[in-house]
Amino acid sequence: MEDMPITPAAEAAVFGPVIDEATLDALELCYRENGFVVLRGVFTVELMDRMEAECVAAQQKVLGGELPERYGSTVFLDDASKAERFVNYVEYVNEISPAVHQAATHPVLATVLRRLLGERAWLRDRYNHGIVYQDARPGRESGYTRIGWHSDWQSGPSLDIWPSTAFTFHLDGTSPANGFLRVVPGSHNWATPAPYRNVNDVEVPADAKPVGGHSDAAPPFEMPLRFETIPGEVPVFTERGDIILHDCYLWHSAARATEENTTRRHVRGGYYGGDRAAERVEQFIKNAAR
């Protein structure tokens, strides 16, 4: 099997801080071709500092039982038994951090996402975990290590909320030392089959669409089940304040840190271009099943 070519655009997909019309054109072209881009310099240092302080404070409040159960979760953890000593996730952090809400609705970010998803693009902030703060540090106290290969669409292949673009606001820069994002450029244009179970080990609904992607071209190989190397994959390294945007059909995973005493903290969420009513139906079904 031949490796996919790694294009210069995939290695240097960084834009900003000024996003004028010409930059938007170049950004959209890169996103359509590769499935991801990086925005740099959009957020001020002051906003990043506030976001970090508010997220860390929320993390401590979840650990101390000072916030309702809604804001804490162990669903994504590799070892949920560690949740009593450390908090890896704060869900719906947008409701308790003004800085996160400001960042997620920043006019530059909104402009870019309307270009990618259409003028009716909407922020998924009320259901399905909302916007999430993640402390993905690799130390012994952490219940998280990394997540294997997947596409975001695979978490809800029966829903009509797609397409979407995920955003990640990096409170820490990323590197081999503290872990980083792995992506397969162009994989968003493959018709990726729905898995038997999604990335959270939840059984996929019977009415799931059979494939998801921006074309009907079959993937050149199967998506690995865990962390195997994929031909053509590239690392995405970031600086503090960077924003990664990636397509919902893009194959991606996380590389585990090589040093234990490091941190990798970020805020993640998404904008969607599909039917927003489908989101409410999904939440109603989840609530009825409890």
One DSSP character per residue, 47-59 reads HHHHHHHHHHHHH
Nearest 5°: the CA angle 167, 187, 153 is 55
Domain tally for the chain?
1
pLDDT recorded at residue 198: 60
pLDDT recorded at residue 196: 67
Over its length of 290 residues, how does the chain's per-residue pLDDT go in tens digits? 233 333 333 454 899 898 999 999 999 999 999 999 999 999 999 999 999 999 999 999 999 999 998 998 655 544 445 445 788 899 999 999 999 999 999 999 999 999 999 999 999 999 889 999 999 887 665 556 667 899 999 988 999 999 999 999 999 999 999 999 999 999 999 999 998 666 556 677 788 999 999 999 999 999 997 889 999 999 999 999 999 999 999 999 998 888 988 999 999 999 999 999 887 655 544 543 43
| Domain-located, residue 188 | yes
Taking the C-alpha atoms of residue 43 and residue 29, their distance in angstroms, rounded to an integer, is 23
Nearest Cα residue to 36 out of 224, 183, 223: 183
pLDDT recorded at residue 77: 47
| Domain-located, residue 167 | yes
pLDDT recorded at residue 5: 36
E-strand ranges in the chain read: 14-15, 36-39, 89-90, 122-123, 132-135, 164-170, 180-183, 192-193, 211-212, 234-236, 243-247, 252-255, 265-272
| Domain-located, residue 1 | no
pLDDT recorded at residue 260: 85
pLDDT recorded at residue 206: 85
| Domain-located, residue 8 | no
| Domain-located, residue 97 | yes
Domain of residue 203 covers 14-289
CATH for 257: 2.60.120.620
| Domain-located, residue 3 | no
